Amino acid sequence: MLKMLYLSSILKYSIFGWRIMDFSYKFPVVAGIQAGKKYYIAMVPLRMISKLFPDEEEYVSPEYRAQRKLNESRIPIISKYITDNRDSYVFSALAASIDGMFEFHENSEASSTGILEVSMDAKFLINDGQHRKAAIIDALKEDETLGDETISVVLYEDLGLARSQQIFTDLNKHAVKTSNSISELYDSRDEVAVINRNVVSSVKFIDDFTDKERDILGKYSSNLFTLNTFYLANKRIIGNCKKYDKAEKFLKKFWREVAKNITEWNELENKKMSKVDLRENYLITQSVIIQALGIVGNYFFINDQYHANEYLRELKTMDWRRNAIQWKLRVVRADGRIMTSNKAIILAANVIKKHMGIPLSDSEECRENEFIKSITI
């Protein structure tokens, strides 16, 4: 069934008389029906992609295109994904419309399979997957052995520009983007994501109250944190460190000590405080504070001569109340809303560091002075 695409020279006859398909592509395909219209799924060798979908060099304005303009910066990223994961990369199907002569020859034993014969004069217009196509072509320049591997291509009959634009819209408008949290939950290539999962699961309180699927928690969520929040915080802690065993060991120890020394977390665990009270009246479950703790953690990760445990005990006496004066305009706006910017994270970390007696870096000191100046003007 999945034989390599091949060419032929043929002469066809139809009820309209003789018609010539001088040279044609022949695709083994599976045929299907959507919205009353036939479509076909073919397995195409990667080396044929550049021949089927040549680059359009001329600029065409958006209203006359069936696709968005190619974002050149994405191509090397996707191409590197292919070559770096040569034995495990995965791609979803390309979708394209056939603008030209084609004919489907049913298999006598299974009418939903057969050969799709497409004139070489026909054009294949990509409706979805132009960045994948461009990345595949780029990857082939580095690794020619990819050429005999295949990608599925869903082929539709071209019914004009409006229909092609609608196919593109439908395929993209109704696609559901995965959350960062669930991507990090399943990602086995990202070492930080793997470590993050291990760290979160090793600290009972954090594990019990972390949503591993969503990036944004609903008002009545039973969870307090997201997996992505700790992923970002842990990236701040370890920076560019590639000694992953060392990093994981440190992170587990760090977050266990944090959990042990935050009074409000302990009160919730011991049922002395409700989740509603904790979430609405305190900042210690907010992403901005967890990431600020990441900055604090980075200090101890780099300066391992300091005993983090001794300093982290100071978290017990930290005032995490939302209306506490030290958070005003740093993390909490005048209207009571929580800030989430990188500036707010740094300013929050400054408060925690000062409370612990940890020196600020030059850049942190600069941000602190700028903040104090801004609120005293």
* Mean local confidence (pLDDT), 295-311: 90
Residue 67: pLDDT over 90:
no
Cα–Cα distance measured from residue 375 to residue 377, given in angstroms and rounded to the nearest whole number: 6
Cα–Cα distance measured from residue 321 to residue 210, given in angstroms and rounded to the nearest whole number: 21
Q: How sure is the predictor about 178, in pLDDT bands with cuts at 50, 70 and 90?
A: confident
* Mean local confidence (pLDDT), 41-70: 68
Q: Give the C-alpha distances (Å, rounded to integers) separating 215 from 185, 224, 272.
A: 12, 11, 28
Residue 330: pLDDT over 70:
yes
Residue 57: pLDDT over 80:
no
Q: How sure is the predictor about 140, in pLDDT bands with cuts at 50, 70 and 90?
A: very high
Residue 361: pLDDT over 60:
yes
The residue type at 67: Q
Q: Where are the domains of the chain?
A: 6-173, 180-376
Q: Where are the alpha helices (DSSP H) in the chain?
A: 49-52, 74-84, 130-142, 161-173, 180-186, 191-202, 204-208, 227-238, 244-261, 263-269, 275-281, 287-302, 308-312, 342-356, 362-376
Per DSSP, 215 falls in state S
pLDDT (0 to 100) of residue 16: 34
Cα–Cα distance measured from residue 219 to residue 348, given in angstroms and rounded to the nearest whole number: 24
Residue 66: pLDDT over 50:
no
pLDDT (0 to 100) of residue 23: 83
**Least reliable range by pLDDT among 36-40, 163-167, 189-193:** 163-167
More confident residue, 300 or 307: 300
Q: Which residue has the tokens 């070489």?
A: 120
In percent, how much of the chain has pLDDT > 70?
A: 85
243-268 residue pLDDT tens: 999 999 999 999 999 999 999 999 99
**Least reliable range by pLDDT among 101-105, 156-160, 223-227:** 156-160
Residue 6: pLDDT over 50:
no
pLDDT, the chain, mean? 86
In percent, how much of the chain has pLDDT > 90?
A: 63
Q: Which residue has the tokens 């802690």?
A: 237
Residue 22: pLDDT over 90:
no
pLDDT (0 to 100) of residue 162: 59
**Least reliable range by pLDDT among 24-33, 123-132, 293-302, 343-352:** 123-132
Q: Whole-structure pTM over 0.85, yes or no?
A: no
